[in-house]
Chains A and B, each alone.
Chain A
Amino acid sequence: MRFMMIMIPKGYERATPGTMPDPKAVEAMMKYNEALQKAGVLLALDGLHPPSMGARVSFAGGKPKVTDGPFAEVKEVVGGYWMIQVKSKEEAVQWAMRCPGGENEVIEVRQVQEFADFPADVQEAAAGYPEMKEQTGKK
């Protein structure tokens, strides 16, 4: 199973263009990334430039509308992500817990949607994914 660990740094929504993280924090984070790599679970990771360098596109009325950052009303923004391959949400959460996150950082753990080998209606019913897969396999 794949999970995305999405870093949400409080305050990043107001960061000026070109803001870079503090070197000490970077060092700690690099050690963490190495640990993910050594455990064989890391698939991908990226840090994102702040919203002040970005844009949003909305689609009200079927017409795309562009708004340049920063986005005044927005309270939480994505700072970066890791994509990991683990066997359960608990494992993903345990990895997220090992991140040297700062006072103002939150990691959201989200499962990546993947094509399953069985019909959509079974997928929709799946609450506990691995258990459901097991049951379907028994049919």
Chain B
Amino acid sequence: MTSSATQRAVDALWRIESAGLIAALARKVRDIGLAEELAQDALVAALEQWPVEGIPENPGAWLMAAAKHRAIDRWRHRSLVERKHAQWVHELEGRADDDLPAPDEVADDLLRLIFAACHPLLTQEDQVALTLRLVGGLTTGEIARAFLVAESTLAQRIVRAKRTLSDAKIPFEVPAGGDLSQRLAAVLQVVYLIFNEGYSATAGEDWVRPQLCEDAMRLGRILAELAPREPEVHGLVALMELQASRLRARSDALGDPILLPDQDRSRWDHLLIQRGLAALERAARLNGARPPGFAKFAIAPGPYVLQAEIAACHARARTSDSTDWVRIAALYTALAVLLPTPVVELNRAVAVGMAEGPAAGLALVDALRESPTMLNYHLVPAVRGDLLQKLGRYAQAAEEFERAAVLAGSERERRYLRKRAAGARAAGQG
């Protein structure tokens, strides 16, 4: 095997094996930073020896053994006065069978690692970086490029995050009882944040960025296997798969956005839609819903299930006209209780406008306009403009679109909003 071929094989094996390796080591040495360093040592050993000896039959076991040997070597060269060190070195020197943890142990270790990476002591930024590094198996360089920061900045962030966990002597465990749903919510937030970063990436950008959607979906799927009885986990997976199903249809040849009602639905990924709907069904069953409509939940669904249900309404509609807006409006009403954010409130107004007519939608938007959080949110005048246009109030619609264009965050959006303004003016003269 050529050395570059070996390098690529090692990279691939790292993505497959690293999370499990770090997780198992973390359990033994009870320090995530140290576990990651030992895993890196094993990677270095692999890069040295595999080009010469060939890739071993069981790469995971080889890496674990290498990590242990390096750890023992390392610590033999230091003073073993600290009982703590002596204790885990002794554990590491244990029998060879210890190299291969039992399947249940693997799952538990990985779950502990995920919770540790998303520990509340860390900022969300740190949680994202650590999750992608330790669980996602991305390199520091890839993560830096994905989030448009300098590699050195990212590297420091990771070092600091690991040190925070070490210094606080974070126990390596799955949170129990009351803590669990809060901690799980934090994990899901991190995964969804990664997904959205990828989703917001546009054509022509560094490919590592849209790749984040795949990374997030993989993390979500892994989590769904580790925590299969948590409906919100399946809800998040469903949401990501349903959103991702529209990736190919959402921009035109120039890279400008195509809105949902105008998308070519034949370009939606139907494999992802199927998977998303299946994940949603799992969540619904866990929430006590029964066929045929899954419309009634015994347990109130959480925000990810609700958002996924909304995405599913779109996914099930063969044409834009056959969208079940009444159901979407009801889902947004439920979601607004859990997440009373400007985005949710506005989307609810849009859905009501579609379900009950533009006047009803406009009434909701007008009520929203008063809120201080809405003042500089460009989508408020944009939605208002759209509703006014539907009501035939073209001059006012054009004004609103212009107002939205001024507030918009990107050139692309500005262009689109100015086009809408021109369209409204033209309709007014027609």
Contacts and interface: CB of A to CB of B under 8 A. Distances in A.
B204 to A, nearest CB: 6
B218 interface: yes
B47 interface: no
Contact of B15 (A38, A91, A136): A91
B217 A40 contact: yes
A95 B271 contact: no
A115 B12 contact: no
B11 interface: yes
Interface residues of A, number: 27
Contacts of B203: 117-118
B9 A137 contact: no
B15 A87 contact: yes
A93 interface: yes
A44 B271 contact: yes
A117 B251 contact: yes
B54 to A, nearest CB: 13
B324 interface: no
Nearest to B274: A44
Nearest to B20: A39
A85 B11 contact: no
B61 interface: no
Given A87-B15, A94-B16, A115-B267, A43 B275 contact: yes
B17 to A, nearest CB: 9
Interface in A84-139: 85-88, 90-91, 93-95, 114-115, 117-118, 130, 133-134, 136-137, 139
A37 interface: yes
A95 B206 CA distance: 27
Interface in B146-204: 203-204
B248 A91 contact: no
Nearest to A129: B207
A41 interface: yes
Main secondary structure of the interface of A (DSSP, over half): mixed
Given A38-B222, A85-B214, A85-B217, A43 B271 contact: yes
A83 interface: yes
A82 B6 CA distance: 25
A85 B15 CA distance: 12
Contacts of A38: 107, 222, 225
Contacts of B107: 38
B219 interface: yes
B11 A90 contact: yes
A41 B217 CA distance: 9
Interface string B1-28: 0000000110111011000000000000
Interface residues of B, number: 29
Nearest to B19: A39
Contacts of B214: 85, 87
Given A40-B217, A40-B219, A117 B12 contact: no
The CB with the most chain A CB atoms within 10 A, among B13, B206, B207, is that of: B207
A94 B13 contact: yes
Contact of A39 (B12, B16, B210, B220): B16
Interface in A68-85: 83, 85
Contacts of B218: 39-41, 85
Contacts of B207: 130, 133-134, 137
Interface in B206-228: 206-207, 210-211, 214, 217-222, 225
B205 interface: yes
Contacts of A85: 214, 217-218
A83 B272 CA distance: 12
A16 B246 CA distance: 42
A139 B206 CA distance: 10
Given A117-B204, A117-B251, A90 B217 contact: no
B194 to A, nearest CB: 13
Contact of B211 (A39, A40, A87, A139): A87
B222 A93 contact: no
Contacts of B255: 117
Interface of A: 37-41, 43-44, 83, 85-88, 90-91, 93-95, 114-115, 117-118, 130, 133-134, 136-137, 139
Given A117-B204, A118-B204, 12 more contacts: A38-B107, A39-B222, A40-B220, A40-B221, A41-B218, A85-B214, A88-B8, A88-B11, A90-B9, A93-B12, A94-B9, A139-B204
14 contacts: A39-B218, A39-B222, A40-B218, A86-B12, A87-B12, A87-B15, A88-B11, A90-B8, A95-B16, A114-B248, A115-B248, A118-B203, A133-B207, A136-B204
The 6 lowest CB-CB distance pairs between A and B, nearest first, are A117-B203, A40-B221, A90-B12, A91-B12, A40-B218, A133-B207
